[in-house]
Amino acid sequence: MMEFALASAIGALTAGGVYLLLRARSFDVILGLTLLSYATNLLIFSAGRLAVGKPPVLLEGVETTLANYTDPLPQALVLTAIVIAFAMTAVTIVVAMRSRADNRSDHVDAREPEADA
């Protein structure tokens, strides 16, 4: 059941991220990138098997099998991905603010929106 919930969360975050990436406003694109990075982090984290309450490091007196431990590599990769996503978001926000100041519009293609008739 936990696997289904995690897969559903990854799918919902991915769908929301792709939807927001296809929008015309720069803020929506930044939000879409953020949702996609969350989905990617969950996907990497789930690659290390879902194990609750198991240590990622070897303990004395516990047999060294995969059944007794969780994989620390996905945890380290997700931690690194969080830092990279934060930096990427900060740079994207600065570029979007500069584009807004230069073009006087927050549309991604820097064109004025067409007036609805």
Please write the tens of the pLDDT for every residue from 65-77: 777 778 788 888 9
**pLDDT tier at 20, thresholds 50, 70, 90:** very high
CA angle 78, 73, 41 (to 5 degrees): 20
pLDDT at 1: 80
CATH T-level assignment (fold) for domain 2-50+65-103: Helix Hairpins (1.10.287)
pLDDT at 75: 84
Nearest Cα residue to 108 out of 22, 42, 36: 22
